[in-house]
Amino acid sequence: MEKRKIGSLDVSVVGLGCNNFGWRTGQEATKAVIDAAIDAGINFFDTADMYGTGESEEFMGRAIGARRKKLVLATKFGFSMGEGKTGASPSYVRAAAEASLKRLKTDVIDLLYIHTPDPTTPIADTLDALNGLVKEGKVREIGCSNFSADQLREAKVATKSGAARFVCVQNEYSMINRTPELEVLPECSRQGISFVPYFPLASGLLSGKYRKGRPLPENSRGKDAWGPTVFTDKILDLVEDLIQFSEKRGVTLLELAVSWLACQPTVASVIAGAKTPEQVKANAAAGGWKLTKAELQEVDSIMMQAV
């Protein structure tokens, strides 16, 4: 599989989002998904301490075992782990990193993100703490998640000369939600920062399982309060148009969603969650298709008609 750079790290263009591990996926199923991901050429695994209240990291640590050195592990801190402690103060940064190292059964985190901005802590203080972890060899690279372009600029100004800097930002981005294109992606280009999109399938809308005029799948999120605000006729019409575009080329909507993101400037890896080996294999295969310039223009035209 193609590899791209996040700072000094070489990551697969399709990564594995590990948010299902722990609370949706048990230990044995976690190992099966990780095994399938590695077999498919995925080396980039993205989790967070809050996923499964720590169990995602724990399950990953057990499942990866001796294969650790072949993989790039990313995790995040900042949201509550259930005990009420949150944020990015220097003391919390260190405590969270040490806890993640223990749960992941590793001596170094390849990429450590601040999961969300902390308005109570100056970003300079957070960066100092993260730089300390890098100097100690406990973290290789640092990144941020859910940051705006203004916050990225603030972090750049606050980074001391020679110190570790944010090399990656992870925000929501998909064919349905293109908000990062307005400010964040251009700022990434200016600063030389990689971008990692989360929710690449728009919470399942781009998976191909939701079709206009057809019943929603069992256990679908569309059957709860989230559904009526998302599964509008306008959105479902767009999905149908994108499915037609994909089928003409002998690919699935999922393959289109992943490959389209991989074609966008500054995107390093498209991380998609998976609960089964079959799902992770499909995600990995999607990274093999490269849209032509003409195809990208046609997709843009389809999406513009839906605005």
The pair of structure tokens assigned to 47 is 């989790």
Top mean pLDDT of 150-159, 200-209, 286-295 is at 150-159
pLDDT in tens, 237-280: 899 999 999 999 999 999 999 999 999 999 999 999 999 999 99
pLDDT in tens, 36-54: 999 999 999 999 999 999 9
Q: How far apart are CA 139 and CA 272, in angstroms?
A: 23
Per-residue confidence (pLDDT) for residue 2, from 0 to 100: 94
pLDDT in tens, 161-196: 999 999 999 999 999 999 999 999 999 999 999 999
Q: Pick the range with the lowest mean pLDDT from 9-18, 151-160, 187-196, 272-281.
A: 272-281
Residues 285-307 have a mean pLDDT of 88
Does the annotation mark 51 as catalytic?
A: yes
Q: How far apart are CA 197 and CA 169, in angstroms?
A: 8
Asked, for residue 239, whether it belongs to a domain, the answer is: no
DSSP string, 84-152: S--S--HHHHHHHHHHHHHHHT-S-EEEEEE-S--TTS-HHHHHHHHHHHHHTTSEEEEEEES--HHHH
Per-residue confidence (pLDDT) for residue 225, from 0 to 100: 46
Asked, for residue 278, whether it belongs to a domain, the answer is: yes
CB 169 within 8 A of CB 143: yes
Asked, for residue 99, whether it belongs to a domain, the answer is: yes
Residues 81-104 have a mean pLDDT of 91
Asked, for residue 216, whether it belongs to a domain, the answer is: no
- Looking at the structure of the chain, the number of domains it has is 1
CATH number assigned to the domain comprising residue 90: 3.20.20.100
Per-residue confidence (pLDDT) for residue 24, from 0 to 100: 87
Q: Among residues 136, 191, 133, 127, which one has the least CA distance to residue 160?
A: 127
Q: How far apart are CA 138 and CA 107, in angstroms?
A: 6
Asked, for residue 196, whether it belongs to a domain, the answer is: yes
Q: For the whole model, what pTM was predicted?
A: 0.92
Per-residue confidence (pLDDT) for residue 144, from 0 to 100: 98
What's the domain range around 27? 3-202+254-290
Asked, for residue 281, whether it belongs to a domain, the answer is: yes
The pair of structure tokens assigned to 276 is 């089964």
Asked, for residue 58, whether it belongs to a domain, the answer is: yes
Asked, for residue 236, whether it belongs to a domain, the answer is: no
